[in-house]
Amino acid sequence: MVIQRATADDLKEILELQYVAFESEAKILNNYKIPPMVQTMDSIREEFDKGIFLKAVDNDGTLVGSIRGYYEEDYVVIRKLFVRPDRRCHGIGTKLLYAMEKEFDTKRYVIFTSNKSVSNLALTETLGYRIFKKEPQDEVLTYVFLEKIVE
């Protein structure tokens, strides 16, 4: 497996995998209208233009994961870390997150997930991220914001 920068030509495939990968999150939340599930090609292109997209590609060329990041003021926001469901728990998410951190020269990284995403919270906390804010969205969903400070 190799992790490399994605190009604009990769966006359609990334978006298709995103829908598949976030289906489990939508199921947990009982909401199939979460942003990753309804993102459009136009919106992913806009996101691509403001930051860096990485992709994880298997030895046979199959896309197995992706992550994106961009500067927001003096820190980096990391978004939409996902791995193909049948390739989870093999360290791909960890490798993608570490690779994204290496793309930026900053002291602070911020990522968010839902309060229901126990595995996402566990992964990011294991990798040095700490909860610094929670934002209730409705009676079921709370966004949990985590940060990693690099000295």
Question: Which CATH number covers residue 106?
Answer: 3.40.630.30
Q: Alpha-carbon dihedral of residues 144, 111, 127, 109, nearest 10 degrees?
A: -130
- Measured over the CA atoms of residue 15, residue 20, residue 21 and residue 22, the dihedral's sign is positive
Question: Residue 34: what pLDDT?
Answer: 87
Which 3 state secondary structure label does DSSP give 128? coil
Question: Residue 85: what pLDDT?
Answer: 92
Angle between helices 41-49 and 11-21 (to 10 degrees): 110
What is the count of structural domains for the chain? 1
Residues 6+ apart with CB under 8 A from 71: 51, 77, 104, 106
Q: By CB neighbour count within 10 A (0-12 exposed, 13-18 middle, 19+ buried), where does 133 fall?
A: exposed
* Cβ atoms 103, 54 nearer than 8 A: yes
Question: Residue 116: what pLDDT?
Answer: 87
Which 3 state secondary structure label does DSSP give 54? strand
Number of residues in the chain: 151
Q: What is the pLDDT of residues 101-131, one digit of tens each?
A: 999 999 999 999 998 888 889 999 999 999 9
The residue range of the domain holding 32 is: 2-149
Q: Does 151 score more than 90 pLDDT? A: no
Q: What value does the mean pLDDT of the chain take?
A: 94
Q: Does 17 score more than 90 pLDDT? A: yes
Q: What is the pLDDT of residues 32-66, one digit of tens each?
A: 888 899 999 999 999 999 999 999 999 999 999 99
